[in-house]
Structure 1
């Protein structure tokens, strides 16, 4: 007999759980029957204090639960502990405002529940119907955890249908080209500068916008921030008012966020705003630093703006695929006209043609980009224009 069929025949939560009461975090006994009929959305939460992902997810679930209860939603959570001893159970449970299966209800019961609901990893969140059967349509308890982790309070009632609705909304934001819906929220129609000045999102209309995903704790972000800053400042002179960057912080604290912004001349999503997480989710950001380019119509032009900036700098603006290809082809034609190696009396080794994202010419002491004649042994670099014709060796 299938597990789901067996549960339906058992008929109620007391038989499912094998206990007559639950515990509040104040130690009070709450009859199981008192919540069964009055709760529209009942969830089992499998977790343990020794589990780091559980400790990380619990505050997210707590925030969603508190907001839902404050909004009058009929939701209740039952904590099913997989802790190894009662002291650990109590440590883990003390910060939870919901109910729990008593720890002394026996390990066999917990094993039975894990088997019944196919809990193979924790944390796991199982939404139940009134008949104590899984009601969400999600694939596993991990799926509901992921849903709450990605959408927070908006995940309610934690169902597959709700996930489809939320993903459809994400698609509309990503493809709609409306910056207010993408960067703002009902309570906020602005982004902020490093000195906390509010800049209306509407001011970004008609500009190419880069969404910069980064963090102060990330060393590669420090390197890319310098590159992006050079391009940003160069475009402010060459193409004033045409390009703006919005920092989407992946920092772990407001202090880190402020440290990041202290070196950035552009704008940002406020650190406390949920839009940071929303943008990371909508654009499936998997690693940082990342730069996503939005065109004049607010739609995605390029998902890998970082490579375009690092390789071609401001020359690649407005960072469309066609412009990046055009710059790349022009550089190739330029390189084809240059010798592969040169002799120069200012250096004892042969200099070889190379391409560099940035360098300083040892002759004129000016910054260079792209083609360079270089000695990798000695870290000696020359602009192609600083190499005289009589010094060329085409061998």
Structure 2
């Protein structure tokens, strides 16, 4: 089943959840003792996380929202924090942001045993256990991100139902439906000269731009996207961008709109959150591209813009293949190795087939994919176009 790796794990000794959590008791966010009787008969999520890691900080409120909704309807679900924090004050501070109990911070042996048993190599991690202690899902964090409380009880059958629902939604997707998935039915978006009917966007390639004002990567990408938007609007009327605000305050939203030459959803929260959930937006900036038929062309518009600029339009697989083929041909004109003024070792040319892949260029700090000049020993990579020899000459032949 997609999204559900096979796991062969059962409780030791047949003792149910208490054979997995072998300490005497748990601790509440306020520091009180929590007895295991409160976990009996429930599905348990072991939440491996740490205060110091931004992804845990971002995921915790998402999990808490799903948790509260499940608790509110009596779903028989409990979460237990297994802290990866390095000191007690950090653990206590982080735990106070959560509504569930935790393995006591001082029980290092139990935390180590749980991490080894479930092969925890990265966080956040949410291992879901049945009441008997069997593993239901080895890491349901992604499911909670995508589906919230609807992912419960996290079984393979439930995941299959949700994925089938997704496929049906995507197959029948239209632009009008996208702007009404919050149940409120938007008919207009905001433009510089007032309201613009959504119906006027039908038949165009539309970029849904998830961003926020006080976000350094967003500000940097917005400037680049605005330049490309201007170029494309000069070439075709069949392209538009709609800002989907992720701003926490209306003042930030208004400042964002003042920096953008395109359309925007209003600042009222619900449509933006619904679209972010629908497209599984985990970070900003994100650029989702919808085609003239209303179907999703790509959720990776940001990377395509960084890689190919305005040439990425209309962002289809066919267009990207053409650009990649052109890159392959152009690469034949570059030397196989060079000395770059930004690195002490010789750099060798690599392709996606010979060791290249996604990277951030050490010269211009923009994304790269496939072709690069690389020092494999140091992890130093640059675009072919950024290749310069020690005297500052171009690496290319053109």
Matching residue of 1:228: 229
Q: Which residue of 2 aligns with 1:4?
A: 9
Matched with 1:274 is: 273
Partner of 1:126: 127
1:127 CA displacement: 0.8
- Residue of structure 1 equivalent to 2:256: 260
Q: Is the 8 A contact 2:243 2:262 kept in 1?
A: no
Aligned CA distance change for structure 1 residues 85 and 179 (closer, same or farther; 3 Å): same
Counterparts of 1:327-338 in structure 2 under 5 Å?
none
One of 288, 298, 320 as aligned partner of 2:294 = 298
Cα distance in structure 2, aligned partners of 1:298 and 1:268:
17
Deviations 1:266-317 (A, max 9, x none): 23375723234235438xx99967462421x3235688695998359xxx89
Of structures 1 and 2, the larger Rg is shown by 1
Larger deviation, residues 151-160 vs 28-37:
151-160
Q: Which structure shows the higher helix fraction?
A: 1
**CA deviation map 1:194-236 (0-9, x unaligned):** 58977675x357432412435453324213224424654886x
Q: CA RMSD in A?
A: 4.0
Alpha-carbon deviations, 1:84-141, whole Å to 9, x = none?
333222111111111112223x2111111112222222221111101112112xxx33
Rounded Cα–Cα distance in structure 1 between residues aligned with 2:93 and 2:285: 35
* TM-score in terms of structure 2 length: 0.62
2: CA distance between counterparts of 1:21 and 1:259?
50
Q: Which residue of 2 aligns with 1:171?
A: 167
Q: How does 1:334-353 map to 2 (within 5 A)?
A: none
The verdict on how the C-alpha distance between 1:264 and 1:28 changes in structure 2, with shifts beyond 3 A counting, is same
1:1-395 alignment runs, 5 A limit: 4-7=9-12, 9-37=13-41, 39=42, 41-104=43-106, 106-136=107-137, 140-141=138-139, 144-190=140-186, 192-193=189-190, 201=198, 203-204=199-200, 206-213=202-209, 215=211, 216=213, 217-229=218-230, 231-232=232-233, 244-249=240-245, 255-262=251-258, 263-268=260-265, 272=269, 273-278=272-277, 280-281=279-280, 290=287, 292-295=289-292, 297-300=293-296, 310-311=310-311
Aligned residue in 2 for 1:331: none
8 A Cα contact 2:174 2:294, kept in partner? yes
- Report if aligned partners of 1:3, 1:116 keep a CA contact under 8 Å in 2: no
Is the Cα contact below 8 Å between 2:44 and 2:79 reproduced in 1?
Answer: yes
TM-score by length of 1: 0.62
User: SS where residue 146 of structure 1 aligns?
Assistant: helix
Kept in 2: contact 1:10–1:16 (CA 8 A):
no
Decide whether the 8 Å contact of 1:43 with 1:78 is kept in 2: yes
* Contact 1:79/1:98 (<8 A) preserved: yes
C-alpha contact 2:233 2:239 (8 A) present in aligned 1: yes
Aligned residue-pair number: 301
SS of residue matched to 1:247: strand
CA contact (8 A) 2:71 2:77 kept: yes
| Residues 182 and 165 (structure 1), Cα distance of their counterparts in 2 relative to 1, 3 Å cut | farther
CA distance in 2, matches of 1:196, 1:72: 50
Question: Secondary structure of 1:92's match?
Answer: helix
